[in-house]
Amino acid sequence: MKLGREVQEALKIVGAGGAVVYLTTSSAAGKPNTVGERFVAVYRDEYILIAEMFAQKTRVNLNENPRSVITLAHPLKGRNWAFVGPTTILQEGHDPDHAFEGAKASEVLEEWGDWALKEPPSEVPPDIRPPALVQRGVIIMKVKEMYDFSPEHAGQPLKGAEVTE
């Protein structure tokens, strides 16, 4: 699924007034885990990337069950979406030719780079900033499904290119 321009813009959320995306994973036994993230990018119009800094339970869950959900809720702008698809964590040291759902690890890591160098840490409010920002890898989802969960369209599947403001 290709993500439309509005969706891609909504996912560029670092900065004043930005929303938070939530990544929900589940163990093989069905025990869920959700983490809120602010450092997100879109890769090749069909992948969502999230900086992996301290996601221990997420890593365990993705090893057991690679299907996850990313939700974005920005009610003031009417952006209430859920993205579903296979997800993994890529990190330095992976075989550079390792591919995940058509995305080559070396290319993803090169484009994403080190988040701490690309996005100024001052974007994180001081009251929630960890003492040291350390990116350990990149969480990558190949978006296969997208749903609207705004009150007027709850649960309706969407096509990325059809999403308009």
Full pLDDT tens readout for the chain, 165 residues? 888 888 888 887 555 455 678 999 999 999 999 998 877 888 999 999 988 877 789 999 999 999 999 998 876 677 789 999 999 988 766 666 677 888 888 788 777 766 555 554 455 566 655 555 556 678 999 999 999 887 787 888 887 555 544
The three state secondary structure string of the chain is: CCCCHHHHHHHCCCCCCCCCEEEEEECCCCCEEEEEECCEEEECCCEEEEEECCCHHHHHHHHHCCEEEEEEEEHHHCEEEEEEEEEEEECCCCCCCCEECCEEHHHHHHHHCCHHHHCCHHHCCCCCCCCCCCCCEEEEEECCEEEECCCCCCCEECCHHHCCC
CATH of domain 5-162: 2.30.110.10
Tell me the domain boundaries of the chain.
5-162
